Chains A and B, each alone.
Chain A
Amino acid sequence: MELQAVLMAAGGGSRMTDLIYNTPKPLLPVGNKPLMWYPLNLLERVGFEEVIVITTKEVQKMMSSDPKMKLDVKMKLDVVCIQEDGDMGTADALRHIQQKIKSDVLVVSCDLITDVALHEVVDLFRAHNATLAMLMSKAHEFTETVPGQKGKKKTAEQRDFVGVDPSGKRLLFMANEADLEDGLSIRKSIIKKHPRMHIKTGLVDAHLYCLKKEVVDFLAENKSISSIRGELVPYLVRKQFSKTANRQKMKDESEDQTQKKNDDSTNQELLIASRDESLLQLAQERSCWNDHHGDMSEAYHGGKLRCYVHILDQGLCYRVNTLAAYIEANRLAPKLFEEPAVHPSAVISEKCQMGSDSMIGALCQIADKTSIKRSTIGNSTTVKEKVKVTNSIVMHGVTIEEG
């Protein structure tokens, strides 16, 4: 098997506490579908047949009772429950399911709504035999105003600095502004190998990672890493250029590869050892290809650890973890699918005015003289007469009285 998909659905939704009050984040309705449905749909469309879902017991219970999940998702969902109160980061969750991981993993977060062609990310992973391949997207300005917020809040402290090489594919540098105290410092070894680097700040991390199996094994050994995004990815990016990694590559070929696990140095564990390493080396030697020009080193500078990123220019990519993102997603998510805006089972009376931007869920009852503009009405809601609903998201099972 080539890739195993893991969906992280145990997140707390710390940046949208108002919405999380009743329903847990993975089951928040976006366009009348639970939030979790979008990444699952993406995986299903691409051809995955099973997904490991890491979530809490509460979500699991709600999932089994949700008809949408049962009907639309045809893949086999292997649900793994973790403690809700525990401070489990995403990397801790991966460590938890290490026994189930038998091949390379594709980690997706439950709050990702995107229409990216997944093969672009996975192709980088396959073609360059990369350790990590991730997806990032150019951030779009949110056009909707968020109720309760005056003006647009600048999230200046949350900026990510991402350094890529001129082709835009190889990931050279990644740091969050919060981790940088004095300023941006880049190692000389990186500059020597890649004299041209583009540093971008306006990118949104889609939290979609392709990781090699050896990384999961490495996580099992190193219990100090608890978050993929915050710790593992910057660590891997840094380790691409670590001196010991390159030097030990030479020793590794003469040493017995079974000694890997016993070695203290963490670099050894990350080095990918496949059988017939010598054949792959031979093929690379004989091949007249190099990924960079202008210096005397071989392809990839002889480095075994490589991180790649695919930056999405056009297309939809949202992470629904703030209120503004949630509202934006509700507007645009229905456009991803060709489902009719009005669910066939909804009962709408004739005198109702409905804008084209709105979505009506199943089993709704909309009475006379109502006007619904740019809103999403959830399932099983009743809207009585003379109601104007504008720019809102109405959840499931709500009754709006007259007036």
Chain B
Amino acid sequence: MSFFGFGQTAEIDIVLNDAETRKKAEHRTEDGKKDKYLLFYDGETVSGKVNVTLKTPGKRLEHNGIKIEFVGQIELYYDRGNHHEFVSLVKDLARPGELSQSQTFDFEFTHVEKPYESYTGQNVKLRYFLRATISRRLNDISKEMDIVVQTLCTYPELNSSIKMEVGIEDCLHIEFEYNKSKYHLRDVIVGKIYFLLVRIKIKHMEIGIIKRESTGTGPSVYHENDTIAKYEIMDGAPVRGESIPIRLFLAGYELTPTMRDVNKKFSVRYYLNLVLIDEEERRYFKQQEITLWRKGDIVRRSMSQQATIASQRYEGSNSETVSAQAKEDSN
């Protein structure tokens, strides 16, 4: 805000050094739109230039200092006034003085710690951004630039399957099994439901993924549940001894890694929700938590190698045809 053309004002522009080569990630904003931002990982250096362009040529810009900050913060929507900063770095670009012409300042935040993944949710947002500020007597001029941070993991050492028997006494007993307890975001959930006792009239069965975002602590925790996926795995009435397979590809859904107690402010957890519906529309359900993690991209093998691996696992007589076909395709 300038005072009716008196004095000088300026425009700030932040440009990162590797903006051309660095990968971008899509991230949903608070109002639901998808935008692309530069993608950073923990420990990477954030460096670039701050371009200050004077609006009115010829006039000087008096200021009380120019600085750039790198901020990582958590915003709870119901408490917007209080931002919880967990990363806060400052670099001074210019001491108080005046600019007689447009100028560019270099900056570098070396090996910045970025402990958490960027997250925009229903009631909470975790974001990282650069903020360049020209301090002035009456009003500051500032510019923010958001980046997206992703946290990567490798295959967990321990990844046991989940196997449990549940039911209603004398009415319905099932045993459910999911092949892992920790899945990466492009993984496949392979499981089965085995019926031990069926004394109710089941019409169909479905499986879903529920995302639970918990904000706040102690007595004032608020849980927001969102059904991310829902999909029918059985149509019809099962009897004792029947086994229903489950295969759920996660890559098709908008998921984030499991985030537990981030900076003691919020959690994002995922649950598999198995629901059986009987002929009178009564619902019987069992929720089971799974851990989601983000896998780093690895070098892709050639198509024929991938096909060979797949065909070796495929039961049946088609395996020879598949690998023969793959060899033909790659030629």
Does B bind A? no
